[in-house]
Amino acid sequence: MSARRARLGVLVSGGGSNLQALLDAAGQADYPAEVACVLSNVPTAFALERARKAGVRAEVVDHKGFGSKADFEAAVLGVLADAGVEWVCLAGFMRLVSADFLKRFPGRVLNIHPSLLPAFPGLHAQKQALERGVKVAGCTVHYVDAGTDTGPIIAQAAVPVLPEDDEASLSARILAEEHRLYPLAVRLAVTGAVTLDGGRTKVDARVTGDGMALRSPGAPK
């Protein structure tokens, strides 16, 4: 008999390529999580199509239809509860979640952000990185806390910033790593291979292997 899989609720606002990475991972028999529900605050989000195509429940809760954030979040929480969601994955969800929301899923809300946090939180992270002139950029999966992109870091991936990069090319390079990193981080979280330790996390090294250094520019050939 196959092991029980954690039930994910994926919150989206846009294209949903990270959602797709999670759907693809969940399509593998040995992946320890399934996508129980996809919820978008944007009715036209392409992510909803991806969910439907994968046969996953797709719901719209448009924040514009609510008089307060509390009412919006109550509606979101209602959908997640109805779908039996145990873990919440923010995947390009462009709304901040409140402390009250987080209380409903303690230590079970994850986010992916397109920078090496704590650098460049908030909007337009890739543009911020280019403007600051960093030579290495990347992405981070972290537990969500009440701040903006401040929660304990689970996993990161780095990519070089090339001299000819613009926001689109750097975003695409980072996004390719996001698609690799988010399914990995979810696997670590739902299997208990990563645990919260105050403001940091402990990751079971047996799962991740030993460390590597990433350097930009790379060593000459």
**With contact defined as beta carbons under 8 Å apart, do 144 and 152 qualify?**
no
Q: Which of 5, 7, 14, 150 binds ligand GAR (CB under 6 A)?
A: 14
Is 194 annotated in a binding site? The answer is no
- The mark string for 72-111 relative to ligand GAR (x by CB under 6 A, - otherwise) is -------------------xx-------------------
Asked if 26 and 2 touch (Cβ cutoff 8 Å), the reply is: no
Residue 103 assigned ligand-binding role: no
Smallest CA-to-CA distance from 18 within 157, 152, 153, 134 is with 157
Q: Contact between 152 and ligand GAR (CB under 6 A)? A: no
Residue 40, interface with ligand GAR (CB under 6 A)? no
Any long-range contacts for 75-78 (C-beta under 8 Å, 24+ apart)?
76/11, 76/39, 76/101, 77/101, 77/104
Q: Does 18 bind ligand GAR (CB under 6 A)?
A: yes
From the list 113, 124, 142, 179, the catalytic residue is: 113
Tell me the two tokens of residue 165.
Answer: 């990069």
Alpha helices (H) in 32-191, listed in sequence order: 46-53, 69-82, 99-104, 125-132, 167-190
Given candidates 15, 150, 176, 180, which one binds ligand GAR under the rule CB under 6 A?
15
- Tell me the residue number closest to ligand GAR, measured at CB: 92
**Annotation-wise, does 18 bind a ligand?**
yes
Question: Crossing angle, helix 17-26 and helix 46-53, to 10 degrees?
Answer: 10
Task: Calculate the CA dihedral of residues 188, 191, 194, 199 and round it to 10 degrees.
Answer: 110
The pattern of x and - marking residues 108 through 127 that bind ligand GAR according to CB under 6 A reads ----xxx----------x--
Question: Among this protein's residues, is 63 annotated catalytic?
Answer: no
Q: Which residues are catalytic?
A: 113
Known binding-site positions: 16-18, 69, 94-97, 111
Q: Residues in the site for ligand GAR, rule: CB under 6 A?
A: 14-18, 91-92, 112-114, 125, 175, 178
